Amino acid sequence: MMTNGLMTNFDSIRLHRLHCPVPSSSKDVSLLDLDDIKKLRYIENRESQEDEAEYEAGGYMPINTGDVLKNQYKVCRKLGWGHFSTETRTVNPNHVGYKNIVQMVDTFKLISENGVHNAISLEIMGPSLLHLLMQSDFRGIQVAAVRRIIFQVLRGLTYLHEECHIIHTDIKPENILIKVDENYIKKLIGQMERFSEMGVDLPRSYVSSEFWTKQESSLHDSEEDIIPRFGEHRASSYPGNMYFSEMTNYRERHSQTDFSTPMWVSPNIEIKIADLGNACWVDHHFSPEIQTRQYRALEVILGAGYSYPADLWSIGCLAFELATGEMLFSPKGSSEHSANIDHLCLIWETLGGIPKYITETGTEFKKYFANGHLKDVPADNLRIWKIEDVLVEKYKWKRLDAIPFASFLSSLVEPDPALRATSSQALNNEWLLSTDI
């Protein structure tokens, strides 16, 4: 899918060079029968479809699986779609964080009945961290891999912030992709061709598990198992607002307290930050509202403006989720309270309160606070449960392990963005440096 104008987010179709070694899931195709594949494709297509009316003059370019573009790129399948993109500039490819950003491979123009389309192809990447969490059955992954992943995300953000002066605005598991090797890519293309022979596209959910874990995915369950698994585990967002990334219904915060061991993941895992479609310049914002709900910074909720620290808040949420399998904040609206009120309550309980001077900042604070306290929320209804205690009491961490991790997270979800750790400062945190990365 392409629109008139420069498009830097090419997630809508993943292209590969015809003459390059090309993409496979290490999962045996025989483990999925045709009915299961069609169910997955139905769910995916239902959750991520653009408006067909936008395929018109000046709009999207019609693209079909199997199309060859520029005599060089073959369309394998649709990955998703986005509302708009941001032009970016490469500043310093020698920066250590440059390699942790998904790279552009080529740019070219195409002509269709809808006009001239500027296209950008990106390097081929593997599944996202969301897929990793799904394969862990939302138990989380082992801390060594969490540390490795977060280190690389911070390094990539340092490049975006300090070299490019860009705020990503949408850090979350879906937008962190796993780097794969040529063997994986070759196998994936082979499987795509086999699926094509069966008359269906390869599902986006069909990703390698054994490549990164000691587990096997169980996508070949009964129909009763498949539909709930891919439909009930994700809290909803705001799909009607173009400034919020689309949210697919994969998971929501679990309520159980009996957790099994986190999933093993290779400590050598490599990742890259993807999807700068909602990114903005630090001095040129496109919307006052940014970030997917569960990863949204306090200052954004309050309408107090935002800058680089908003991305660091999201990383704190991401790190907790990778380690536990659950979201740090998973607010839900109700007939009595809005999602923002619930979100602020969760932040208050997790951080042990919010400084009074912070509750008096932004354009929205009067909706939610009065004299430093949450409106219409009795203090007795707020249960303080700080991150360290949550890790120990709910997830059964040893206190000695919980203290440094909780301290690291607290530096990222600091309510005052001026006091929040920068990406460079976070890279030097004791928890990240406590082992070789």
User: What length does the chain have?
Assistant: 437
363 phi/psi in degrees, rounded to 5: -85, -10
- Answer yes or no: is 7 within a domain: no
Which phi-psi region, left, alpha or beta, contains residue 36 (left: φ > 0; alpha: ψ -120 to 50)?
alpha
Phi, psi of 362 (to 5 degrees): 90, 170
Top-confidence range, 50-64, 126-140, 202-216, 314-328: 314-328
Q: What average pLDDT does the segment 106-134 reach?
A: 84
pLDDT score recorded for residue 74: 64
Q: Does 6 reside within a domain?
A: no
Q: Using one digit for the tens of pLDDT, what is the confidence trace for 139-191?
A: 999 999 999 999 999 999 999 999 999 999 999 999 999 998 888 878 877 87
More reliable by pLDDT, 130 or 226: 130
**Amino acid identity, residue 123?**
E
Half-sphere exposure of 164 (CA within 13 A, CB side): 26
* Six-digit token string for 342: 């619930």
Residue 194 in any domain: the answer is yes
State pLDDT tens for residues 302-352. 999 999 999 999 999 999 999 999 999 999 877 667 999 999 999 999 999
Average pLDDT, the chain: 76
Q: Give me the mean pLDDT over the 248-265 stretch.
A: 54
Q: Is the pLDDT of residue 37 over 90?
A: no
Beta strands 369-370 and 373-374 are antiparallel
Taken in order 218, 222, 224, 227, the sign of the CA dihedral is: positive
Look up residue 396 and give its two tokens: 């059964």
Task: Give the pLDDT of residue 93.
Answer: 82
Residue 157 resides in a domain: yes
Query: What is the rounded average pLDDT of the residues 221-227?
Result: 33
Which pLDDT value is given to residue 107? 78
- Percent of the chain whose predicted confidence (pLDDT) is above 70: 65
- Say how far apart CA 240 and CA 249 lie, in whole Å: 15
Residue 4: inside a domain? no
Domain annotation covers residue 1: no
Instruction: Report how far residue 2's alpha carbon sits from residue 64's, in angstroms, rounded to the nearest whole number.
Output: 12
**276 within domain boundaries:** yes
- Is beta strand 166-167 parallel, antiparallel or unpaired with respect to 68-69? unpaired
Would you say 324 and 417 are in contact if contact means Cβ atoms under 8 Å apart?
no
Specify the number of domains making up the chain. Answer: 1
**Span 411-434, pLDDT tens digits:** 999 999 999 999 999 999 999 997
State residue 80's pLDDT score.
52
Q: Which domain holds residue 361?
A: 13-433
CATH of the domain at 415: 1.10.510.10
Binned at pLDDT 50, 70 and 90, residue 50 comes out as low
Q: Is 396 helix (H, G, I), strand (E, B) or coil?
A: coil
In a domain, 358, yes or no: yes
Q: What is the pLDDT of residues 380-401, one digit of tens each?
A: 889 999 999 999 999 999 999 9
Tokens of 334: 């109700």
Q: Side chain identity at 174, as an amino acid letter?
A: E
pLDDT at 209: 40
Q: How far apart are CA 350 and CA 352, in angstroms?
A: 6
